[in-house]
Amino acid sequence: MENRSKYEQNLQSDDPFIRNMYEDLEKRIQVYENNGNDKSEHAQWKDAAGVIIVMSMITLFLAATLI
Amino acid sequence: MPKQSSAVTNDVAFGFLPTDKKGRIFGFTDLILVQVVVGLSAFGLLTGAYTGSMLGSSQSFAATLFGNAFPMFLIAPIILFFARYGIDTFVGFRSSLGYKGANVFFFVFLILTLGYIAIALFMAGEALVELAVWLNMPSFFASPGTGTPFFSISLFAVTFLITVRGPAAIRKFNLFAVPAFILFLVGLIAIIVFGQHIPALNSLLPVEPFETNSRSLAIALEINIGLGFSWLPYLGQYSRLAKNEKHAFKAGFYSYGVIVSLAAIVAALSTLIAGSLSPASWMMPIAGPYAGLIGLLLLTVANVGAAIFLMYSQTVSFKTLYPKKTWLFSMGTTIPTVFLLLSATFYNAFGSFIAVISFIMASLGGIIISDYFFVKKQKISLRHLYDTEGNYTYWKGINPSALVAIAVSILVYWGLYNPLTFNSSNLFLYMSAGIPTYFAALISYYVSAKYIFKYEVDQVSNTVDAPAQETATTLISKGEI
């Protein structure tokens, strides 16, 4: 009896829903692995500037109500 | 039925698969809108109500804003993970918790969701009791002791019957439920702002403060911090559909951390005005009999809508994890909610419930942030997230470092604050419990992963992508999958 992983078993499942889903999954993983992620799409520190400012203002507001 | 079954199947596949380029449709505004609609909820109302029962208006406002925004500020960076890989939360958690650890967390989430559903439906039941009183119905319906459980269990049945029919029926109901909640909130804001309540707000005193103001403030902050951290399991839901990471991150923080706290702020002010913790009892004193009647109906519809959303999300998540189970079986996992609706005991313990959520989500938030940014340095293998016999197996499917971090979190949180008895240490008054627990989990996870349980996947972070570049065929031939 061939020792197959669960992942491979699902790729060859008799249930068409499971098989199709894993075939689709395999395709998407391969696309991701082959193309990687475009570095330009990644968030940078400067993208958090607005969030940090808003958080600082809220913190100051809390501090002001306590004084 | 086949139509419903096919729609559910599509939703299960959609939740399971990493989002491809075609599926990344949400820009910043889309994300804000969808997350705000989902985030405005009964829990926001109750959290605000508890805050307004302990603090005056300006401190309620500040505690609610900070309590919601700061935890989101701490956990929002994990949105970059879900947005980058296009994966849902429970798939993403496999890299830090292990495959079985992520499943254990799912079951914790499932139990918490039963609590969320119960709170929404019990609040709706309370609103219907108020209506029954107004309509002079028999005392069985008009008495909170019998009427609220009766109405809330009946609404559970309605919720179940709508949800079991699948997404088409839910979308039809939500055409009423979503606008109902928004109308309810806008109406309350309008009445508070344009009515004669604003000048009086500063002089109103909270109805159930603790013995000192600092204790009231610390407990109110902790409850709001619980609400802020409670969004953790939902962060992957829509950010995985974002066009890019920065929009997903910013929209996550602003929607869950800032805008949805509006519901809690309105609730805190309403509690101060009406002098009651129960949203159903605010309507008549604040809005008068006829507008109050409309408010009660809107509150009921909105809460049933929230319960449907929660029930459907839980059932689809269950089917995503166990695709071979039937839809009806998966729906059956929500039935224990009925036990929480039999009396007001659970609903009245909301303050303890949200504090327990604060403990669970703060510790998990610390773990996943530590794992993704500091231990694995943002290098995750998408293939191994899905291959449940892959690199994230750790010890029998559970990451021991996550267990260490949880053990440390238990000591820190329960040492600072006991949410069941409300006993606390003096330190709790200065630093709350949820936030230090987050940092304790983050640091202890890092130390454990790097220096105690040194798994290869955590040590050689720069080479993690190497197996990720290999195709399934290569891995199968190596016997790795």
Nearest to A41 among B70, B245, B389 (CB): B245
Q: Is the per-residue pLDDT at B400 higher than 60?
A: yes
> Looking at residue B3, what is its pLDDT?
54
Task: Quickly state the pLDDT bin for B446 (edges 50, 70, 90).
Answer: very high
Averaged pLDDT, B35-54:
85
> Looking at residue A33, what is its pLDDT?
83
The pTM (predicted TM-score) of the whole model is 0.88
Where helices occur in B57-165 by DSSP H, the ranges are: 57-75, 79-85, 89-92, 94-97, 99-134, 139-142, 144-164
Tell me how far the alpha carbon of residue B84 is from its chain's centroid.
22
What is the tens place of the pLDDT at every residue in B311-320?
A: 888 888 888 7
Distance from CA of A59 to the nearest CA of B (A): 6
Q: Is the per-residue pLDDT at B122 higher than 90?
A: yes
Q: In terms of pLDDT, which residue wins out, B131 or A36?
A: B131
How far apart are the C-alpha atoms of B179 and B181, rounded to whole Å? 6
**Cβ atoms within 10 Å of B480's Cβ, excluding its own:** 18
Q: In terms of pLDDT, which residue wins out, B419 or B124?
A: B124
| Token couple for A59 | 């913190």
Residue in B246, B262, B322, B478 to test binding to A, most A beta-carbons within 10 Å: B246
Q: In terms of pLDDT, which residue wins out, B21 or B117?
A: B117
Which residues of chain B approach chain A closer than 8 Å at the C-beta?
Answer: 9, 13, 16-18, 20, 58-59, 61-63, 65-66, 69-70, 73, 76, 80, 84-85, 217, 244-246, 249-250, 253-254, 258, 323-324, 382-383, 386-389, 468-472, 476, 479, 481
Give me the phi and psi of B25, to 5 degrees please: -110, -10
> Looking at residue A36, what is its pLDDT?
62
> Looking at residue A3, what is its pLDDT?
63
Contact yes or no for B66 and A15 at CB 8 A: no
Cα atoms in the 13 Å half-sphere on the side-chain side of B275: 5
How far apart are the C-alpha atoms of B201 and B344, rounded to whole Å? 30
